[in-house]
Chain A
Amino acid sequence: MKIKVSQTSQTPIYEQIEQQIRQQIFSGELKAGEQLLSIRALARELRIGIITAKRAYDDLCNENILVSRQGKGVYVAELDRELLREKRCSDFRKQAQQLITAGREAGLTLEEIHEILEEEGKSGAFL
């Protein structure tokens, strides 16, 4: 688990933590069942208040992304793979919509955008 927080950001610290943990779970960096740092260890690691660290974990537990086991610690929840895939698919769809809008603004037709996507996909340059 790698988390960085900015004390001067407009985004509250607990939200910065939540975003990064969520992202790492969806990307597979954090695996189901993996144990996270304890609340107090996280506070120490990030140099933040204990209540702030607790808030971040509590929120993610309420989203059922993390599970807290009394006296044992906080773990990444066993997420429903099908559900996770759907979620990631819908996230990608949103990004695709933005990409198409950007393409249209650049004066490209849908066919041209499609061609670019295929070319880039085949060249594998993004890897």
Chain B
Amino acid sequence: MNAERAPAPSSEPELAAGRFDEACEAYLERRLPAPATRAFERALLEPALAQRFREALLVRELLGSVGPDAPAGLADRLESLVCDELAREGRGAGASGRGSLLGGWRAALGGLSWTLRGPSLAFTSQPAAPSGAGPFLQGLGTMRYAVPALAEGRAAREPARRAPLWWRLLRGRRT
């Protein structure tokens, strides 16, 4: 379960409803520990809560079956499109350019552009975010997706050139 909690709803009934809803979600997704599950099931004996639980179930069921299905043949068309891209770039096994500095930077910048696009759109298309939290800062938090590509390349390139710290300290003391 996530350590992060939802911001507190504004009123007391909404708070209670929010907690019950969260418990419903956790119960239906089997995320509740055994004692909490038993307590939740006991609470369902109360008709008002049972009714709320039925509603939660219906909402989940309806949202879970929302369509539409992808049109027939779309996946095949997309498959050939991606294979064409592969062929055009000549990216067979071993030709991915992963080890090169250029490849790492290209991948990182590609990821970075996607990272920044979300927050910038949040500013332009949805100025009134309900949470009030800064969407730009939230988006910057996703920058970690852009970093592994660089880190991977650097780890492969960097040989252990420097002497260990204890050796350098000892040598420093002697001189």
Do chains A and B interact in one complex?
no
B residues near A (Cβ < 8 Å) are none
A residues near B (Cβ < 8 Å) are none
